[in-house]
Structure 1
Amino acid sequence: MTIQFLQHTYFFPMMIHGFGFLSLSASLVLPWALTGLVAGERMTESLAKDVRQSFTDQEIPLPSRKLISAIPTKTTYYVSSNGNDRNSGLSTSSAFRTLDRAANLTDPGDTVLIMNGVYNNTSQVGTVLDIKRSGKANAWITYKAYPGHRPKLQSNGWHGVSISNGASYIEVNGLEIIGNNSNITLGYAQNQQNNKSNPLTNGNCITIDGEKNRLTHHIRILNNKIHDCGGGGISVMESDYVTVDNNEVFNNAWYSVFACSGISLITSRNYDNSQNYKMVVTRNKVHNNQMLIPWIQNKKFQDGNGIIVDSHRRFGYKGHTLIANNISYKNGGSGIHTYESEHVDIVYNTAYLNNQTPVINYGQIMSNYSSDIKVVNNILYSAPNRPISLINQSPNSTFNYNLYNNNGSRQIAVGPNDIMADPQFINPSIGDFRLKRGSPAINRGFRWNNLKTDALGNPRVYGSASDRGAYEMRY
């Protein structure tokens, strides 16, 4: 069986990733000995005979969260929509008006507390929050919502939040970043489909940009609501040690000419030579990110993924990437996708009814021109007669211990311990992908030693074995 793929040549604008295919037969790499098995569990003899590569059960540590909690606060700045940039910014009653006023003053260890209100970019080519100053390993700079507040960063420029110029040891926490999609019609965007310079259609919500030899590293994007940007939701370029955790990312990538996605990690670069988990995407809800305008390079629709790990081979990236406990649904491309990347563990995710773009047939989770990709303990739910999973030209990669829905979709990547069944979600129509009591995904996975909790932060194993998918049910 031959699958026709699209050729995708890279173009690097200020925010975006590339991704694509050649016209080749699907290459399947099936079982191998999985890491992380519960003590005492053994592969069957027949499975062992099919092993292509054996390796030991190695613990790959996650980046420590204790760094931030142990940071002594140096200065706290306050920003309010009712503030004034002539104020001192040192109390709620003397708050600054703009985020950049505070950002331009920060030193290692400082915190910027953002109060209720709407914050806008001051010019159409500008950014609502432009971060260019760095913290230190023991003194991060933190931008977060004032306790109990829900500030909104509304952008019609190139970026809602930009982290660049080598800025590192930065945390962005608890903000709502909103793009310009509500002010754009599809007809207007189609008229702009050859315009690379229009921020109204191409702007990103969050851009982490380590290009031009100004490597950004040690960045945390936590607990944010990120939506309605014509470009990418969270676009991470040429960076290292980036954690994207517990965000909701939706309605992005619609109008850009640059082929964007909800969350993209593109061309990661080495801050050091560690082979631990350094790029971490966990516990995010990613939905309705889709290309409505073709990529300017080839006039094709081929991205709009929920989450993509893209071209990590370009700079010889050595770190491991963890994609875990995410819920990725109703995106235009894959729910989760790798392209020309290595050492990516995709575990305990739920991918549901992706491939919303009619010409895209990548499956809910796809490994494309990649290697050492482990797709384990996930739930993949596809529309009828649409592919569920796909491995293409990806040696030493596997799908195993996953659950596929049994709606007659064709499967291209199937492991020996994968099962086909109705996962019995509680209410997927409203985005509730928890499992009903009696779901065949419950107690049917195996313990992944490198991951201790589920999408809600609950202990990962409850019962005789772990559950498949993003949630560990307490039945």
Structure 2
Amino acid sequence: MKRITFLKHFSRGFFLLACIIVIIDGSVVCAGTYFVAITGNDSGNGSEISPFRTIKKGVTVLGAGDTLYVKAGTYAESILSWKTPVPNGKGWDKPITVAAYPGHAVTITPPKGLAFFWINDGQPKYLIIDGFIVDGVDQALHGFKFHENTRYVRIQNTEVKNSTMSGILVTPGSDLSSNDTFHEFIKMKVHHNGHSRLDHGFYVTTSSNLFENNEVFLNRGYGIHIYQGKINTANHNLVRYNLVHNNSLDGWSCGILLSSGEGNIAYSNIAYENHIGLCSQYRSTNAKLYNNIAYQNNAYGIYVGDPTNLQTGIYNNTVYKNGIHGVFIGEGAQKASVKNNIVYLNGSQNIFEQEQGKSEAVFLNNVTADPLFMNVGGNDFHLKHGSPAIDAGITIDGIALDYERNPRIIGKASDVGAFEMPEDSNPPAIPTDFRVVTEK
């Protein structure tokens, strides 16, 4: 691939705009950069010296590979795809990017009843939204809403707060034959959204989405809510490396909920001071919860329930000091597999099976005695030497790494809980008091 700088001449306004010519497989693409500023004017050309005034205007000029930078300030805007068509990228190598200018604080306050981006065109967008503060100021419905199987939107480094309903809402359209939406939510802060426990941080009812490295807290309902009310439309979603805490304590809710589909996975998350830490519930099949840390939640650390729940795997989690039970296998849940977990010092019982013998649940190699945490007062759940959890686990297919992405087996066998004890990297001390004995 060869890159050269080129000045593209636009007839409208007779201005020059810097862009990059990218030559890939003989094709030529000009990736343009445009700007929005509160001092700008929509009659400008979008250059840095003549920026647009509104993000809406900037979006209309974008093509695959282009970037729209928004400079510091507060913008009361909403991009509605049926009024302002949102262009599509041509893959993650040539996306549309709408981003806060590096180092600038950009706040979006969507109008009452709307959202910052509300897209329902059902198209593959390859759209990146990066670096904004989206403040609903208790009037916007959502920070973002994607509907009608709109696909491939990546939101990163963005804060969503103070929506009247869920912070981010993703729903399928009427055509349920293909509801894989492939959205990515990365390094976000999602908090203080909703007025009732039916309003969540993330409310997602589609398949094949990624939630990674987000902090989700103080939402009225669930933190990350993967659920569809009547049918299974939420399959193969991946929830990892998130910090989910202090979501609704005034009613039934979970920090992370997996339901309404096949093969949803949550691993290496921390959930604390929610009503329940992590849940696998309604019409959930073959969900997996592993390498998670659930502590000091109001009711349960991990909850598996509902008669339509089948074959949830609960592996290598650390579950500590939750209000009622550590791991709860509820009425109707079938064939859950509970292995290699540390479940310690929970309020009533560490592991509770509501219908003993009927659920066909399997419980193996769990540690409920004192696991010798490194510093429980500081919420450091690494293991000390001598812990009964070291080398006490069994090998579980598909779990090759621990919470910190270290190899899952260091030593004779897998450790129990979220953390694998590393090998001692310190050399033995040099002896100072010794004598040499020689045989005669």
TM normalised by structure 2 equals 0.67
Aligned equivalents of 1:105 and 1:457: distance in 2?
Answer: 38
Q: Map of 1:157-236 to 2, 5 A cutoff?
A: 157-179=140-162, 199=164, 203-213=165-175, 215=179, 217-230=181-194, 231-236=199-204
**Residue in structure 2 matching 1:306, options 247, 252, 255:** 255
Q: Structure 1's 408 and 209: CA in aligned 2 closer, same or farther, altered over 3 A?
A: closer
What does residue 251 of structure 1 align with? 218
1:281–1:322 contact (8 Å) kept in structure 2: yes
Q: Map of 1:40-51 to 2, 5 A cutoff?
A: none
The letter for the 2-side match of 1:290 is S
Aligned equivalents of 2:35 and 2:224: distance in 1?
Answer: 28
Shift of 1:283: 1.2
Q: Structure 1's 142 and 407: CA in aligned 2 closer, same or farther, altered over 3 A?
A: closer
What does residue 387 of structure 1 align with? 325
Aligned length: 342
Structure 2: give runs of 5+ residues left out of the alignment: 1-27, 60-78, 80-84, 90-94, 354-361, 424-440
2:249–2:274 contact (8 Å) kept in structure 1: no
SS class of match (2:252): coil
Report which structure shows greater RCO (CA 8 Å, sep ≥6).
Answer: 1
1:329–1:335 contact (8 Å) kept in structure 2: no
Shift of 1:82: 4.1
Q: Structure 1's 236 and 425: CA in aligned 2 closer, same or farther, altered over 3 A?
A: farther
1:79–1:112 contact (8 Å) kept in structure 2: no
2:115–2:143 contact (8 Å) kept in structure 1: yes
Aligned equivalents of 1:441 and 1:322: distance in 2?
Answer: 24
Report the structure, 1 or 2, having the larger strand content.
2
Q: Radius of gyration: which is bigger?
A: 2
2:365–2:394 contact (8 Å) kept in structure 1: no
CA offsets, 1:411-449, max 9 Å, x none?
31481311113345555666x444143354444444444
Aligned equivalents of 1:209 and 1:433: distance in 2?
Answer: 38
Q: Structure 1's 407 and 346: CA in aligned 2 closer, same or farther, altered over 3 A?
A: closer
Shift of 1:344: 0.5
Q: Structure 1's 346 and 383: CA in aligned 2 closer, same or farther, altered over 3 A?
A: closer
What does residue 276 of structure 2 align with? 333
The letter for the 2-side match of 1:327 is I
**Residue in structure 2 matching 1:289, options 247, 262, 281:** 247
Shift of 1:241: 0.9
Q: Map of 1:317-356 to 2, 5 A cutoff?
A: 317=261, 319-354=262-297, 356=298
Q: Map of 1:353-372 to 2, 5 A cutoff?
A: 353-354=296-297, 356=298, 361-362=299-300, 364-369=302-307, 370-372=309-311
SS class of match (1:308): strand
**Residue in structure 1 matching 2:133, options 122, 128, 152:** 152
What does residue 437 of structure 1 align with? 384
What does residue 226 of structure 2 align with? 265
2:263–2:287 contact (8 Å) kept in structure 1: yes
Aligned equivalents of 1:471 and 1:97: distance in 2?
Answer: 48
Q: State whether structure 2 residue 336 is matched by structure 1 residue 397.
A: yes
Q: Structure 1's 88 and 394: CA in aligned 2 closer, same or farther, altered over 3 A?
A: farther
CA offsets, 1:306-326, max 9 Å, x none?
11123x1xxxx4x31111111
Q: Structure 1's 395 and 154: CA in aligned 2 closer, same or farther, altered over 3 A?
A: same
Q: Map of 1:8-27 to 2, 5 A cutoff?
A: none
Shift of 1:246: 1.4
What does residue 13 of structure 1 align with? none
The letter for the 2-side match of 1:437 is K
Shift of 1:128: 2.1
Please provide the CA RMSD for this pair: 3.3
Report the structure, 1 or 2, having the larger helix content.
1
Shift of 1:249: 0.7
CA offsets, 1:158-188, max 9 Å, x none?
11122223210121112122225xxxxxxxx
Q: Structure 1's 426 and 175: CA in aligned 2 closer, same or farther, altered over 3 A?
A: farther
What does residue 208 of structure 2 align with? 241
Q: Structure 1's 282 and 81: CA in aligned 2 closer, same or farther, altered over 3 A?
A: farther
Q: Structure 1's 266 and 345: CA in aligned 2 closer, same or farther, altered over 3 A?
A: same
Shift of 1:250: 0.8
